[in-house]
């Protein structure tokens, strides 16, 4: 029932994104990370130009939202391929934070090309943590997992995207551990414990929210 009530808002949001990213205008399955990137790019571009209409008056009031809206950091890919004298073909990349964001977005590398240029899915399990401690050159912070995007399917050319998210009505300290799984129009209740256990091989994008110090 909840999913059906939210459908009009979801459709309107998708149509708005598709105005500037027409590749998302149809009803074919698209990559969730590419859609997220398109959304963040539009927020970055349009944020300073957002307007709010005064209720009942129709008088625009400009709001500067450059850093207020766009306060996310998207992790870069961590695998680089190269060839050196030692014969190695892979290397690692380490990224560090100058400052810590309010929302931390982690993109897991679930797809890769084989030596024959065939796209394949990576099913390696990831130890999902409900809490993360992240440090930067200036300070440290604790983050809580609030949402996951998951690719359910055996191959890179097939499958289905679903989403898990913490109940938006709970406060910063959620003692009930109430989450929801969004599978198209079907919404079911779950918990962070189930999410961390069940999404180890299917999680694709993770959203962590920085905890506010009391």
Percent of the chain with pLDDT over 90: 25
- Domain 98-214 is of which CATH architecture? Alpha-Beta Complex (3.90)
Quick: pLDDT tens for 31-87.
777 888 888 877 776 655 544 444 444 444 443 443 333 333 333 344 445 455 666
Taken in order 102, 35, 152, 178, is the CA torsion positive or negative? positive
Structure tokens belonging to residue 98: 């100058």
205 vs 47, more confident: 205
* Residue from 114, 211, 198 nearest 162 by CA: 198
- Residue 34 phi, psi dihedral angles, 5° rounding: -65, -35
- Looking only at the bridges linking them, the beta strands covering 72-74 and 103-107 are parallel
Percent of the chain with pLDDT over 70: 68
Q: How confident is the model at residue 101 (pLDDT cuts 50, 70, 90)?
A: confident
Q: Which H or E run includes 183?
A: strand 179-183
Sequence ranges of the chain with CATH classification 3.90.70.10: 98-214
Average pLDDT over residues 9-27: 81
Over the chain, what is the mean pLDDT?
A: 75
Report the predicted TM-score, pTM, of the whole model to 2 decimal places.
Answer: 0.66
């Amino acid at each position: 029932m909840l999913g059906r009530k939210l459908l009009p808002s979801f459709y309107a949001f998708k149509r708005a994104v598709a105005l500037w990213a027409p590749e998302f205008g149809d009803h074919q399955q698209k990559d969730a990370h590419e859609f997220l990137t398109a959304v963040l790019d539009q927020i970055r571009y349009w944020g300073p130009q957002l307007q709010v209409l005064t209720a009942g008056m129709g008088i625009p009031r400009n709001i500067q939202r450059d850093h207020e809206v766009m306060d996310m950091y998207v992790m870069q890919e961590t695998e680089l391929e190269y060839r050196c004298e030692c014969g190695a073909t892979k290397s690692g990349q380490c990224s560090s934070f100058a400052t810590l964001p309010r929302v931390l977005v982690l993109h897991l590398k679930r797809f890769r090309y084989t030596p024959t240029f065939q796209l394949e899915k990576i099913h390696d399990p990831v130890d999902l943590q409900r809490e993360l401690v992240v440090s930067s050159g200036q300070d440290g912070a604790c983050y809580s997992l609030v949402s996951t995007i998951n690719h359910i399917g055996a191959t890179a050319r097939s499958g289905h995207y679903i989403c898990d998210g913490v109940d938006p009505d709970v406060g910063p300290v959620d003692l009930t551990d109430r989450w929801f799984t969004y599978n198209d129009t079907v919404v079911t209740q779950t918990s962070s414990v189930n999410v961390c256990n069940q999404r180890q091989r299917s999680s694709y994008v993770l959203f962590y929210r920085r905890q506010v110090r009391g």
